[in-house]
Structure 1
């Protein structure tokens, strides 16, 4: 007697072995770049390394060739002179910084106001912009004696001379930025019947900020140059003397280390002003503009 085939229901299903519970993957922590490979550190480290190499070469050449101090002083002697003559050099540095800052502020305010005037009418810009170029190309050395004669106060005359040197980059860059507006956004403002003041404040000024801060970087250095040139022309001495007078006096006395120390202070002041303008630009534009990202 043959045995019947078992039915499907009679066959016990084979259960597959339970898969082991998957372990939770640990969160991947972003690997932090080494300190020396970070861009901010490189911006500071690389120029410092180049400066150290140049100063070492300078010191080595002066020492090896036994150059006299009245010809080329060594960096060490220049630093010693800076420390010993700091009473006179520090006071002159403050005078030069004061003239530079006043001229820079005056040039910024005047340049922005002139740019606002230019952007209101193309005819006004066409009629007046050549005179702004004329101020830029005229040597301040030729104009400074007249300004010093016309303006009785020596400090005010030097501020005017330095402001004239620093004025054109503010006018040129700000005017360019105020006109560099996207046509679609300008059409949108016109479609909504925005007034000139609303268009200026909400559209043109934000678009002009990168150009404006670029002009500030240039004008900060030009204001310092204008202040030093004005001091050379004015030739004021005494308590109101700037670093230019210290350079002239050191040249007459063949005190070359003191001359180099004054030049070092001027250079450091220019670098500090440029770094300050770059920091202000990063603070104002870093969160929304691609130029500071």
Structure 2
């Protein structure tokens, strides 16, 4: 059953790519309308030098935003768990931050912040922040009441209850939020790059997509899109591996 977890998605993906290639060849669809996956792969290999540099630029923003989102999300969640009044006061604004479309606020952020890199980081952070905050807050508030009574019976301090009971309980929730935010931080970085439209040698993948679209280099556009998809999958798999390694010895979800 464990092998099917990886085998079935791989088979579906291969079938999709094979069907895509067959449709393109059977209908003689020109590459400037819909390139086949073989042509996309060749374009990716040919333009790897420029696309890989842009990928590194996007990844720098993505991982920086994820780290900041994880740190601030965890910190605020801990504060919320210690003060119900603080949670009731601030959590609605975190919801507002989450439901506001990033494409609507990104132009304002780019105008207000002089450094484009910092502006892109803020945009990506906004997208990635809420899942970590909400999941971790839920985990910290899901502590077994019987265990809390036991800690209270033995005279545990608030710090001891937080460190030895609440944080371990919230760890699976935090890691689940981290897996979600990993992909969202990439999406936020790409969306912000689209709005910023920064070019040059230090431009991200979003600019490469726009550049290819303006020049009608559709295979190159698909190659950049494929690179974004693969990167998102790798980020999710890497964070899933981290979650597995941290939880496999004691939590039911990884057994």
Interval containing the TM-score (normalised by the shorter chain) = over 0.9
In structure 1, how many angstroms separate the alpha carbons of the residues matched to 2:234 and 2:121?
Answer: 20
TM-score (norm 1): 0.86
The Cα of 1:275 is off from its aligned counterpart by 0.4
Gaps of 5+ in 1: 1-38
Please, which of 252, 255, 269 is the counterpart of residue 231 of structure 2?
269
Q: State the match for 2:17 in structure 1.
A: 55
In structure 1, how many angstroms separate the alpha carbons of the residues matched to 2:122 and 2:247?
Answer: 30
The Cα of 1:284 is off from its aligned counterpart by 0.5
In structure 2, how many angstroms separate the alpha carbons of the residues matched to 1:203 and 1:162?
Answer: 32
In structure 2, how many angstroms separate the alpha carbons of the residues matched to 1:175 and 1:56?
Answer: 44
Query: Is 2:64 aligned against 1:102?
Result: yes
Query: Is 2:57 aligned against 1:121?
Result: no
Q: State the match for 2:41 in structure 1.
A: 79
In structure 1, how many angstroms separate the alpha carbons of the residues matched to 2:181 and 2:164?
Answer: 25
Q: State the match for 1:42 in structure 2.
A: 4
Query: Is 2:213 aligned against 1:251?
Result: yes
Q: State the match for 2:97 in structure 1.
A: 135
Q: State the match for 2:121 in structure 1.
A: 159
Query: Is 2:247 aligned against 1:282?
Result: no
Question: How many residue pairs were aligned?
Answer: 255
Which is richer in helix?
Answer: 2
Gaps of 5+ in 2: none
Q: State the match for 1:239 in structure 2.
A: 201
Q: State the match for 2:174 in structure 1.
A: 212
Equivalent position SS for 1:240: coil
The Cα of 1:74 is off from its aligned counterpart by 0.6
Whichever of the two has the greater Rg, that structure is 1
Deviates more, 1:211-220 or 1:40-49: 40-49
Listed one character per residue, the Cα deviations across residues 169-220 of structure 1 (whole Å, up to 9, x for unaligned) are 0000000000101111001111122111111100000100111111011100
Cα RMSD after superposing both structures: 0.8
TM-score (norm 2): 0.98
In structure 2, how many angstroms separate the alpha carbons of the residues matched to 1:146 and 1:56?
Answer: 43
Q: State the match for 1:90 in structure 2.
A: 52
